[in-house]
C-alpha cells in the first residue's frame, strides 16, 4: 500500500503497509499493537474503506464500523442530539435510538451534561459518548482505534465487557491500543505491526512478549547504520570504477 506526500511535481511515495495479509473470523477480538507511526491506524482505515489502497484487496462480509477518538461529532449540538444523529447514521430508526438513549447516556456517564453542547465536553466525555453510541448497535465488524484508552477504570471495564459481548455475539472486533492490559483482557488474538510490516500474529501473551522485547529505537539505529554502510559501499564502487576506467 502506498501513501503519497508532497505537492510538487515529484511527490514522495511511501510504502505505508508492506505485504500485510491475514484473515479475521467471526467471534474474534483482535488486538493491533505497534510503535507510534507503525501503520496500525493506516491498516484500520484501509479495512474500514476510508483510505484507498494501491495494491492488494480488503474483503469484508459487511461494512466495518470505525470508532476512533479523532472522529468528529457535531460540536454545536447537545449530547442528546448527537445520540439521535449518530444512531440514525448507524442505521437505527428514530424509535430504535430513543429506546437505547437511556442506556447510551448511562454507559457514557454523562447524564448531567447530556443537554449541553458537545463543545463543552472534555475529550474523554466525547470519546465515551462516541463509544456508547457505536456499541449500542450490533455491528458485524467494529474497529476501535485507541478509544478504550480514554476514561477512568470503571469506563474501561465497561468497555471491555461490551467488547466481549460483541465478540460472543459472533461479531469481529479490532482494537488498536498501546494499553497491553486492555488487549490482554479483551482480545483472543493480536497482530503486531511495525514499519508497515506484520511482525507477528497469534496468541496475545506470546505476541505481546515479543513486542515488549523489541526496541524500535535500536531498530531505527540499525537501519540508519545499514544505509550508511550501503552509501559508503556505493561510493567506493564508484571511485574504483572511475580509477579503473581508461584515461581519455
* Segment 115-158, tens digit of pLDDT: 999 999 998 888 889 888 888 887 788 888 875 565 677 887 88
pLDDT of the residue at 105? 96
Residue 92 domain-assigned (yes or no): yes
Provide the pLDDT for residue 95. Answer: 96
pTM above 0.75, yes or no: no
Q: Which domain holds residue 79?
A: 70-138
Same-domain pairing of 52 and 119: no
Regarding whether 170 and 123 lie in a shared domain, the answer is no
Largest CA distance in the chain: 89
Residue 242 lies inside a defined structural domain of this protein: no
Q: Do both 150 and 60 map to the same domain?
A: yes
Chain centroid to CA 47: 10
Same domain for 169 and 54: yes
Q: Say yes or no: 158 and 189 in one domain.
A: yes
Q: Is 29 a domain residue? A: yes
Q: What is the pLDDT of residue 72?
A: 58
Q: What residues of the chain score a pLDDT lower than 70?
A: 1-16, 68-72, 147-151, 170, 215-220, 222-223, 226, 245-248
d(CA 117, CA 73): 11
Q: Is residue 33 part of a domain?
A: yes
- Do residues 31 and 89 share a domain? no
Same domain, 77 and 53: no
Same domain, residue pair 60 and 175: yes
Instruction: For residue 40, tell me if it sits in a domain.
Output: yes
Structural domains of the chain, count: 2
Question: Residue 218: its pLDDT value, please?
Answer: 64
What is the C-alpha to C-alpha distance for residues 21 and 197, in angstroms, rounded to an integer? 10
Amino acid at each position: 500500500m502506498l501513501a503519497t506526500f508532497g505537492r510538487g511535481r515529484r511527490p514522495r511515495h511511501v510504502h505505508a503497509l508492506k505485504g500485510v495479509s491475514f484473515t479475521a473470523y467471526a467471534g474474534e477480538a483482535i488486538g493491533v499493537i505497534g510503535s507510534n507511526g507503525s501503520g496500525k491506524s493506516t491498516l484500520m482505515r484501509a479495512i474500514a474503506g476510508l483510505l484507498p489502497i494501491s495494491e492488494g484487496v480488503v474483503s469484508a462480509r459487511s461494512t466495518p464500523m470505525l470508532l476512533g477518538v479523532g472522529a468528529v461529532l457535531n460540536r454545536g449540538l447537545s449530547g442528546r442530539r448527537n445520540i439521535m444523529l449518530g444512531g440514525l447514521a448507524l442505521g437505527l430508526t428514530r424509535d430504535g435510538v430513543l429506546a437505547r438513549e437511556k442506556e447510551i447516556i448511562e454507559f457514557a456517564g454523562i447524564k448531567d451534561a447530556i443537554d449541553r453542547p458537545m463543545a463543552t465536553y472534555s475529550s474523554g466525555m466525547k470519546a465515551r459518548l462516541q463509544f456508547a453510541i457505536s456499541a449500542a448497535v450490533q455491528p458485524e465488524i467494529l474497529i476501535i482505534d485507541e478509544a478504550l484508552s480514554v476514561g477512568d477504570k470503571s469506563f474501561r471495564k465497561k468497555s471491555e465487557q461490551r467488547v466481549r459481548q460483541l465478540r460472543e455475539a459472533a461479531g469481529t472486533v479490532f482494537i488498536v491500543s498501546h494499553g497491553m492490559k486492555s488487549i490482554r483482557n479483551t482480545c483472543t488474538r493480536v497482530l503486531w505491526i511495525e514499519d508497515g510490516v506484520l511482525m507477528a500474529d497469534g496468541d496475545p501473551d506470546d505476541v505481546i512478549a515479543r513486542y515488549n522485547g523489541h526496541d524500535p529505537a535500536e531498530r531505527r539505529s540499525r537501519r540508519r547504520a545499514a544505509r550508511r554502510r550501503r552509501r559508503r559501499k556505493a561510493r567506493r564502487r564508484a571511485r574504483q570504477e572511475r580509477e579503473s576506467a581508461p584515461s581519455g
